[in-house]
Amino acid sequence: MRKEFAIDELRAQTSWDWRIALDFFLVGTGTALFLISGALHLFAGLATGIALVAVGSAVVLSHLGRPQSMWRSASQFRTSWMSRGIIAAGLFVVFGMLAAAPYVFEGLPWSQGSWTRGDFLGLAIWYVAAVAGVVFILYPGMVMSTNRSIPFWHTRMLPLVVVSYGVVGALAVVFIVQSVVDISLSETALGYYGLTSLVASALLTYLHISSKASSRDLASKESVRLILRGSLASVFMLGAILVGVVAPVILIVVAFVTSGSIATSSLFLAGVLMLVGAFLARYCLVKAGGYATLL
Protein backbone atom coordinates (compact mmCIF):
# COMPACT_ATOMS: atom_id res chain seq x y z
CA MET A 1 0.00 0.00 0.00
CA ARG A 2 3.00 2.28 0.57
CA LYS A 3 3.61 2.57 -3.22
CA GLU A 4 0.01 2.86 -4.32
CA PHE A 5 0.34 6.55 -5.12
CA ALA A 6 1.42 7.36 -8.67
CA ILE A 7 3.56 10.32 -7.57
CA ASP A 8 6.90 9.42 -5.98
CA GLU A 9 6.72 12.20 -3.38
CA LEU A 10 3.45 10.87 -1.98
CA ARG A 11 2.96 7.97 0.41
CA ALA A 12 -0.12 6.16 1.69
CA GLN A 13 -0.45 6.17 5.46
CA THR A 14 0.22 2.75 6.99
CA SER A 15 -0.25 3.50 10.70
CA TRP A 16 -3.99 2.83 10.57
CA ASP A 17 -5.21 -0.44 9.10
CA TRP A 18 -8.46 -2.41 8.92
CA ARG A 19 -8.59 -2.61 12.73
CA ILE A 20 -9.01 1.16 13.00
CA ALA A 21 -11.68 1.06 10.31
CA LEU A 22 -13.41 -1.72 12.24
CA ASP A 23 -13.17 0.28 15.48
CA PHE A 24 -14.69 3.36 13.83
CA PHE A 25 -17.43 1.17 12.35
CA LEU A 26 -18.27 -0.49 15.66
CA VAL A 27 -18.23 2.64 17.82
CA GLY A 28 -20.15 4.72 15.29
CA THR A 29 -22.79 2.06 14.73
CA GLY A 30 -23.00 1.15 18.42
CA THR A 31 -23.35 4.70 19.69
CA ALA A 32 -25.95 5.69 17.10
CA LEU A 33 -27.83 2.46 17.77
CA PHE A 34 -27.91 3.17 21.50
CA LEU A 35 -29.30 6.69 20.96
CA ILE A 36 -31.93 5.50 18.46
CA SER A 37 -32.91 2.56 20.68
CA GLY A 38 -33.33 4.89 23.64
CA ALA A 39 -35.99 6.79 21.72
CA LEU A 40 -37.68 3.51 20.74
CA HIS A 41 -37.36 1.94 24.23
CA LEU A 42 -35.68 -1.00 22.50
CA PHE A 43 -33.60 -2.91 25.05
CA ALA A 44 -32.08 -5.20 22.41
CA GLY A 45 -30.75 -2.11 20.64
CA LEU A 46 -29.43 -0.54 23.85
CA ALA A 47 -27.58 -3.71 24.81
CA THR A 48 -26.26 -4.29 21.29
CA GLY A 49 -25.05 -0.69 21.03
CA ILE A 50 -23.08 -0.94 24.27
CA ALA A 51 -21.65 -4.31 23.22
CA LEU A 52 -20.50 -2.94 19.85
CA VAL A 53 -18.73 -0.03 21.55
CA ALA A 54 -17.03 -2.41 23.99
CA VAL A 55 -15.83 -4.63 21.14
CA GLY A 56 -14.62 -1.57 19.21
CA SER A 57 -12.60 -0.44 22.22
CA ALA A 58 -11.04 -3.92 22.45
CA VAL A 59 -10.07 -3.70 18.78
CA VAL A 60 -8.25 -0.42 19.43
CA LEU A 61 -6.43 -1.98 22.37
CA SER A 62 -5.25 -4.80 20.12
CA HIS A 63 -4.00 -2.24 17.59
CA LEU A 64 -2.10 -0.23 20.20
CA GLY A 65 -0.38 -3.33 21.51
CA ARG A 66 0.03 -1.77 24.96
CA PRO A 67 -3.33 -0.93 26.64
CA GLN A 68 -1.63 1.46 29.05
CA SER A 69 -0.94 3.75 26.07
CA MET A 70 -4.66 4.46 25.77
CA TRP A 71 -4.97 5.63 29.36
CA ARG A 72 -1.94 7.92 29.02
CA SER A 73 -3.51 9.37 25.89
CA ALA A 74 -6.65 10.27 27.85
CA SER A 75 -4.70 12.91 29.79
CA GLN A 76 -4.47 15.15 26.72
CA PHE A 77 -8.20 15.83 26.50
CA ARG A 78 -7.73 19.62 26.29
CA THR A 79 -6.13 19.40 22.84
CA SER A 80 -6.68 15.87 21.52
CA TRP A 81 -9.86 14.41 20.08
CA MET A 82 -8.40 10.97 20.63
CA SER A 83 -8.27 11.73 24.35
CA ARG A 84 -11.82 13.07 24.32
CA GLY A 85 -12.94 9.92 22.55
CA ILE A 86 -11.33 7.69 25.19
CA ILE A 87 -13.00 9.60 28.02
CA ALA A 88 -16.34 9.65 26.21
CA ALA A 89 -16.07 5.89 25.64
CA GLY A 90 -15.69 5.22 29.36
CA LEU A 91 -18.58 7.48 30.32
CA PHE A 92 -20.77 6.09 27.57
CA VAL A 93 -20.25 2.44 28.52
CA VAL A 94 -20.75 3.05 32.27
CA PHE A 95 -23.80 5.31 32.04
CA GLY A 96 -25.17 3.40 29.07
CA MET A 97 -25.23 0.22 31.14
CA LEU A 98 -26.87 2.13 33.99
CA ALA A 99 -29.56 3.42 31.61
CA ALA A 100 -30.22 -0.11 30.31
CA ALA A 101 -30.05 -1.80 33.73
CA PRO A 102 -33.78 -1.41 34.67
CA TYR A 103 -34.69 -3.60 31.68
CA VAL A 104 -32.83 -6.44 33.43
CA PHE A 105 -32.93 -5.69 37.16
CA GLU A 106 -35.96 -4.77 39.26
CA GLY A 107 -36.03 -2.43 42.23
CA LEU A 108 -33.56 0.15 40.94
CA PRO A 109 -34.14 3.85 41.83
CA TRP A 110 -34.84 4.58 38.17
CA SER A 111 -37.12 2.72 35.75
CA GLN A 112 -37.17 1.59 32.14
CA GLY A 113 -37.17 4.54 29.79
CA SER A 114 -37.20 6.87 32.78
CA TRP A 115 -35.61 9.63 30.67
CA THR A 116 -39.03 10.15 29.06
CA ARG A 117 -41.05 10.11 32.29
CA GLY A 118 -39.60 12.93 34.37
CA ASP A 119 -37.51 10.65 36.59
CA PHE A 120 -34.66 12.97 37.63
CA LEU A 121 -32.08 10.27 38.36
CA GLY A 122 -32.91 8.29 35.23
CA LEU A 123 -32.93 11.50 33.20
CA ALA A 124 -29.49 12.47 34.55
CA ILE A 125 -28.07 9.02 33.73
CA TRP A 126 -29.52 9.14 30.22
CA TYR A 127 -28.22 12.64 29.50
CA VAL A 128 -24.69 11.74 30.59
CA ALA A 129 -24.81 8.64 28.38
CA ALA A 130 -26.32 10.61 25.48
CA VAL A 131 -23.83 13.50 25.65
CA ALA A 132 -20.92 11.06 25.93
CA GLY A 133 -22.43 9.17 23.01
CA VAL A 134 -22.63 12.29 20.84
CA VAL A 135 -18.98 13.11 21.59
CA PHE A 136 -18.01 9.50 20.93
CA ILE A 137 -19.82 9.28 17.59
CA LEU A 138 -18.08 12.50 16.52
CA TYR A 139 -14.61 11.48 17.65
CA PRO A 140 -13.54 9.26 14.70
CA GLY A 141 -14.33 12.00 12.18
CA MET A 142 -12.79 14.69 14.35
CA VAL A 143 -9.59 12.69 14.86
CA MET A 144 -9.26 12.29 11.10
CA SER A 145 -10.31 15.81 10.11
CA THR A 146 -7.84 17.48 12.50
CA ASN A 147 -4.91 15.55 10.99
CA ARG A 148 -3.30 18.23 8.82
CA SER A 149 -0.66 15.88 7.43
CA ILE A 150 -3.28 13.87 5.47
CA PRO A 151 -5.17 16.33 3.22
CA PHE A 152 -7.86 13.82 2.18
CA TRP A 153 -9.01 13.67 5.79
CA HIS A 154 -8.45 17.32 6.66
CA THR A 155 -11.89 18.83 6.05
CA ARG A 156 -14.77 19.94 8.24
CA MET A 157 -17.10 17.80 6.17
CA LEU A 158 -15.51 14.49 7.20
CA PRO A 159 -17.11 14.29 10.69
CA LEU A 160 -20.54 14.58 9.05
CA VAL A 161 -19.62 11.82 6.59
CA VAL A 162 -18.48 9.51 9.39
CA VAL A 163 -21.54 10.25 11.55
CA SER A 164 -23.79 9.47 8.59
CA TYR A 165 -22.13 6.05 8.30
CA GLY A 166 -22.87 5.50 11.99
CA VAL A 167 -26.56 6.30 11.51
CA VAL A 168 -26.75 3.99 8.49
CA GLY A 169 -25.15 1.19 10.52
CA ALA A 170 -27.47 1.76 13.47
CA LEU A 171 -30.60 1.67 11.32
CA ALA A 172 -29.23 -1.46 9.65
CA VAL A 173 -29.11 -3.19 13.02
CA VAL A 174 -32.68 -2.03 13.74
CA PHE A 175 -33.73 -3.52 10.37
CA ILE A 176 -32.22 -6.82 11.46
CA VAL A 177 -33.65 -6.70 14.99
CA GLN A 178 -37.17 -5.89 13.77
CA SER A 179 -37.34 -9.29 12.12
CA VAL A 180 -37.33 -11.00 15.54
CA VAL A 181 -38.42 -8.28 18.01
CA ASP A 182 -41.56 -6.16 17.92
CA ILE A 183 -40.64 -2.46 17.92
CA SER A 184 -42.70 0.70 18.05
CA LEU A 185 -42.05 1.70 14.43
CA SER A 186 -43.78 0.29 11.38
CA GLU A 187 -41.77 -1.26 8.58
CA THR A 188 -42.79 1.65 6.36
CA ALA A 189 -41.42 4.22 8.82
CA LEU A 190 -38.21 2.22 9.20
CA GLY A 191 -37.88 2.09 5.44
CA TYR A 192 -38.21 5.86 5.11
CA TYR A 193 -35.58 6.40 7.80
CA GLY A 194 -33.30 3.94 6.08
CA LEU A 195 -33.71 5.58 2.67
CA THR A 196 -33.09 9.02 4.14
CA SER A 197 -29.91 7.88 5.90
CA LEU A 198 -28.59 6.13 2.79
CA VAL A 199 -29.25 9.10 0.53
CA ALA A 200 -27.73 11.55 3.04
CA SER A 201 -24.67 9.34 3.51
CA ALA A 202 -24.16 8.91 -0.25
CA LEU A 203 -24.58 12.66 -0.84
CA LEU A 204 -22.08 13.61 1.88
CA THR A 205 -19.59 11.06 0.54
CA TYR A 206 -20.00 12.47 -2.97
CA LEU A 207 -19.49 16.04 -1.76
CA HIS A 208 -16.38 15.04 0.18
CA ILE A 209 -14.80 13.15 -2.71
CA SER A 210 -15.72 15.77 -5.32
CA SER A 211 -14.30 18.59 -3.17
CA LYS A 212 -11.02 16.70 -2.80
CA ALA A 213 -10.95 15.82 -6.51
CA SER A 214 -11.13 19.53 -7.37
CA SER A 215 -8.53 20.46 -4.76
CA ARG A 216 -5.13 21.79 -5.76
CA ASP A 217 -3.51 19.42 -3.30
CA LEU A 218 -1.84 16.49 -5.05
CA ALA A 219 -2.21 14.13 -2.07
CA SER A 220 -5.98 14.69 -2.04
CA LYS A 221 -6.24 14.07 -5.78
CA GLU A 222 -4.24 10.86 -5.47
CA SER A 223 -6.46 9.68 -2.61
CA VAL A 224 -9.50 10.22 -4.81
CA ARG A 225 -7.80 8.36 -7.67
CA LEU A 226 -7.04 5.47 -5.33
CA ILE A 227 -10.73 5.21 -4.37
CA LEU A 228 -12.25 5.70 -7.82
CA ARG A 229 -9.68 4.12 -10.17
CA GLY A 230 -6.94 2.59 -8.02
CA SER A 231 -6.62 -0.45 -5.79
CA LEU A 232 -9.57 0.60 -3.61
CA ALA A 233 -11.95 1.12 -6.54
CA SER A 234 -13.51 -2.34 -6.42
CA VAL A 235 -13.96 -2.17 -2.66
CA PHE A 236 -15.52 1.28 -2.84
CA MET A 237 -17.63 1.04 -6.00
CA LEU A 238 -18.78 -2.56 -5.65
CA GLY A 239 -18.73 -2.92 -1.87
CA ALA A 240 -19.52 0.48 -0.35
CA ILE A 241 -21.75 1.81 -3.15
CA LEU A 242 -23.36 -1.13 -4.98
CA VAL A 243 -23.70 -3.51 -2.03
CA GLY A 244 -23.97 -0.87 0.71
CA VAL A 245 -26.26 1.69 -0.93
CA VAL A 246 -27.85 0.65 -4.24
CA ALA A 247 -28.92 -2.87 -3.23
CA PRO A 248 -30.41 -1.76 0.14
CA VAL A 249 -32.38 1.00 -1.58
CA ILE A 250 -33.87 -1.57 -3.97
CA LEU A 251 -34.70 -3.92 -1.07
CA ILE A 252 -36.34 -1.11 0.91
CA VAL A 253 -38.50 -0.26 -2.10
CA VAL A 254 -39.45 -3.94 -2.30
CA ALA A 255 -40.49 -3.75 1.37
CA PHE A 256 -42.66 -0.71 0.55
CA VAL A 257 -44.61 -2.49 -2.17
CA THR A 258 -44.96 -5.83 -0.36
CA SER A 259 -46.08 -6.95 3.07
CA GLY A 260 -45.68 -9.72 5.60
CA SER A 261 -42.66 -11.99 5.51
CA ILE A 262 -41.42 -10.63 2.18
CA ALA A 263 -41.22 -7.07 3.51
CA THR A 264 -39.61 -8.22 6.75
CA SER A 265 -37.06 -10.36 4.92
CA SER A 266 -36.29 -7.50 2.50
CA LEU A 267 -35.52 -5.14 5.37
CA PHE A 268 -33.44 -7.82 7.11
CA LEU A 269 -31.30 -8.34 4.01
CA ALA A 270 -31.08 -4.58 3.44
CA GLY A 271 -29.79 -4.22 7.00
CA VAL A 272 -27.07 -6.82 6.45
CA LEU A 273 -25.92 -5.16 3.24
CA MET A 274 -25.99 -1.70 4.84
CA LEU A 275 -23.65 -2.94 7.57
CA VAL A 276 -21.25 -4.30 4.96
CA GLY A 277 -21.31 -1.03 3.05
CA ALA A 278 -20.85 1.12 6.16
CA PHE A 279 -17.73 -0.81 7.14
CA LEU A 280 -16.23 -0.80 3.63
CA ALA A 281 -16.85 2.94 3.25
CA ARG A 282 -14.90 3.58 6.45
CA TYR A 283 -12.17 1.20 5.33
CA CYS A 284 -11.73 3.13 2.09
CA LEU A 285 -11.60 6.46 3.93
CA VAL A 286 -8.89 5.16 6.25
CA LYS A 287 -6.76 3.40 3.62
CA ALA A 288 -6.96 6.21 1.05
CA GLY A 289 -5.22 8.67 3.37
CA GLY A 290 -1.89 9.85 1.99
CA TYR A 291 0.75 12.45 2.76
CA ALA A 292 3.62 14.25 1.04
CA THR A 293 7.16 13.21 1.93
CA LEU A 294 9.84 15.78 2.65
CA LEU A 295 12.21 16.37 -0.26
The pTM assigned to this predicted structure is 0.86
Kindly give the confidence (pLDDT) of every residue in the chain, 295 residues in length, as a single tens digit, with 9 standing for 90 and above: 445 665 656 777 888 888 889 989 999 999 999 999 888 888 888 999 999 998 988 887 666 555 555 556 556 666 677 788 888 888 999 999 998 888 888 878 877 665 556 678 888 888 899 999 999 899 889 989 988 889 999 999 999 999 999 999 999 999 998 887 777 677 788 899 999 999 999 999 999 999 999 988 888 998 999 999 998 999 999 999 999 999 999 999 999 998 888 988 999 999 999 999 999 999 999 999 887 665 4
Does residue 81 lie within any of the structural domains? yes
Does residue 37 lie within any of the structural domains? yes
Domain that holds residue 240: 10-292
Residue 50 sits in a domain whose CATH number is 1.20.1630.10
Does residue 18 lie within any of the structural domains? yes
Count of domains in the chain? 1
Does residue 4 lie within any of the structural domains? no
pLDDT of amino acid 184: 67
Write out the chain in H/E/C secondary structure. CCCCCCCCCEEECCCCCHHHHHHHHHHHHHHHHHHHHHHHCCHHHHHHHHHHHHHHHHHHHHHHCCCHHHHHHHHHCCCCHHHHHHHHHHHHHHHHHHHHHHHCCCCCCCCCCHHHCCCHHHHHHHHHHHHHHHHHHHHHHHHHHCCCCCCCCCCCCHHHHHHHHHHHHHHHHHHHHCCCCCCCCCHHHHHHHHHHHHHHHHHHHHHHHHHHHCCCCHHHHHHHHHHHCCCCHHHHHHHHHHHHHHHHHHHHHHHHHCCHHHHHHHHHHHHHHHHHHHHHHHHHHHHCCEEECCC
Does residue 78 lie within any of the structural domains? yes
